[in-house]
Chains A and B, each alone.
Chain A
Amino acid sequence: MNPPLSPLYFDYAATTPLDLQVKEAMIDCLSDPNLMGNASSITHDYGTHAKSIIEIAKADIRTALNAPSYNTIFTSGATESINLALKGAAFQQKSLGNHIITVKTEHQATLDTCHYLEQNGFDITYLPVKSSGLIDHDSLALALRDDTILVSIMHVNNETGLYQDLGSLSRLLADHQALFHVDAAQSIGKIPVDLNLYDIDLLSFTAHKFYGPKGAGALLVKPMTKLSPQMHGGTQQYRMRAGTLATHQIIGLSHALVLATQNQAKEHKRLLKYKQKVVTELHKIGGIALNGEPAHTIPDILNVCVQDVDGEALMMALYPLAISQGAACSSATTEPSHVLTAMGLSPEECYQSIRLSFGRFTTDDQLSFAIKCLSLEIQKLRKLAHGTRG
């Protein structure tokens, strides 16, 4: 089996390549001299042209997420959106209370921001999850207090692909004063995100997870919801995020979002077949455990514990494939995954786990090659670890 010239990409959960249609839309925007203006400079045509194209992008985003009344704040990505949502809500709502609820399996962007808020006098509850990875709704109900001002939960987990039930979570929070923030970085374009169905106050996402450019994200804010700005220096974006808007990035984000939501159902079916094929083949090898309740995981992400095989060794052995053990943002650490640990896996099981994620440009041939590689290398590493025959 000859390795490909460059590694085959199976790390779509970390980031996705730019879609050609998105790239063309961005180049058109950058190339158009009429769009070179600052969207805040509404005293001349250059500025108003830029502003009008951004307004169209905002309308496209609201339509794609069925959020007609929401305000869109453009950011540099999901990490900034989450920072703005959490710190902005916490400092704005401080007079109403200082208690915030989040979940142990959240992305580092949320956990680190919560740690920062903790150091600044806020009381944070980190909810546990069940072994399936799902939140126990009773424990959320019990954690809610009169002084709870914010609940932040990720829709789809970036390591396991497990999705939480936004409908029941938002119903549970409906009668409470706490704002509900959802980190949708991994869900948009993969499963339906319809803001008309849920009572969500703040929604964070980033374009590079759905074939848009890196450095372009957004925070959707429910009308009348105020956030304390975290970036100072201007009155742009409802005074909640200062700075000149990056017109081409916004165009890239909105184009990518429209494409992703249009193709979502079709892609879901295709990738589900891929995931099922890999799972079937891995089960033939044996000693495989899926991390995350399969019925509640998106087809794009597969996280498996491969018994008797060190995950890092397997990644090295699978050098013709670009895969990872978990979050790219934590890949420099050697600590076991906080997500898998919260789900009850032992450090040994965490170290034996790898993540494959599929996407728009994954092909049948690539998948067959990956399955062959996985099968061969798992068996080789097991022979190496056991030192026995067979």
Chain B
Amino acid sequence: MFPKKIIEIYRQIDPKPLWDKVECANHTILSYSAGSRHEGCHIKLQLKLLDSQIIQDTRFSVFGDPFAIAATATFSHWLQGKKLNDIKTFCYDTLIRELEIPQSKTLGAVLVMGILA
């Protein structure tokens, strides 16, 4: 049985394609990747910047367990509207606590929180 919170986050996800090169040409888009399919979790994250500082929008792809999906979606949503400098203050413990991720299922949360490092 998966926590209702995790199911609810998944239900609200409307998968959007990552921005391609043509779309990237008109905006500042930063792309990040963490993990691998072989490890059981692969996350890609894109940040669209406004004035090179504020994160206007985000996109992500994620292959992984339900907690990895929920962690990626939550982090991606949290980034929107933040300044690039501010996001370094976010600690992954917060995400694990917020989503009540069991200790054996933290891979996705750890990967996504470290993706910008």
Contacts and interface: CB of A to CB of B under 8 A. Distances in A.
A387 B66 contact: no
Interface stretch (A134-142, A247-255, A313-321): A313-321
Interface in B24-70: 37-38, 40, 42, 44, 59-66, 68-69
B44 A387 contact: yes
Given A319-B2, A334-B104, A384 B62 contact: yes
Contacts of A383: 15, 17
Interface string A284-316: 000000000000000000000000101011011
Interface of B is mostly: mixed
Interface string A257-276: 00000000000000000000
Contacts of A319: 2, 7
B18 interface: yes
Contacts of B92: none
B10 A310 contact: no
Contacts, number: 57
A316 B6 contact: yes
A389 interface: yes
A384 B59 CA distance: 10
Given A316-B7, A317-B10, A385 B62 contact: yes
B13 interface: yes
Given A319-B2, A319-B7, A388 B18 contact: yes
Interface string A361-390: 000000000000000000010011111110
A384 B69 CA distance: 9
Interface string A339-362: 000000001100100000000000
A386 B10 CA distance: 16
Contact of B63 (A308, A315, A347): A308
B61 A385 contact: yes
Contacts of A334: 104
A383 B15 CA distance: 6
A389 B59 CA distance: 13
Contact of B18 (A347, A348, A380, A387): A387
Contacts of A348: 37-38, 40
A323 to B, nearest CB: 12
Given A310-B40, A312-B66, A387 B6 contact: no
A387 B10 contact: no
A347 B42 CA distance: 15
Interface string B56-86: 0001111111101100000000000000000
Contacts of A389: 17
A285 to B, nearest CB: 16
A12 to B, nearest CB: 18
Contacts of B62: 384-385
B6 A385 contact: no
Given A316-B66, A380-B15, 20 more contacts: A310-B63, A310-B64, A310-B65, A312-B65, A313-B64, A313-B65, A313-B66, A313-B68, A315-B2, A316-B2, A317-B10, A317-B66, A334-B104, A347-B38, A348-B40, A384-B15, A384-B63, A384-B69, A385-B42, A388-B61
Q: 9 smallest A-B Cβ distances: which pairs? A: A387-B61, A316-B66, A383-B15, A385-B63, A387-B18, A389-B17, A316-B2, A312-B65, A384-B15
10 contacts: A310-B64, A313-B65, A316-B10, A380-B13, A384-B15, A384-B61, A387-B15, A387-B44, A387-B59, A389-B17
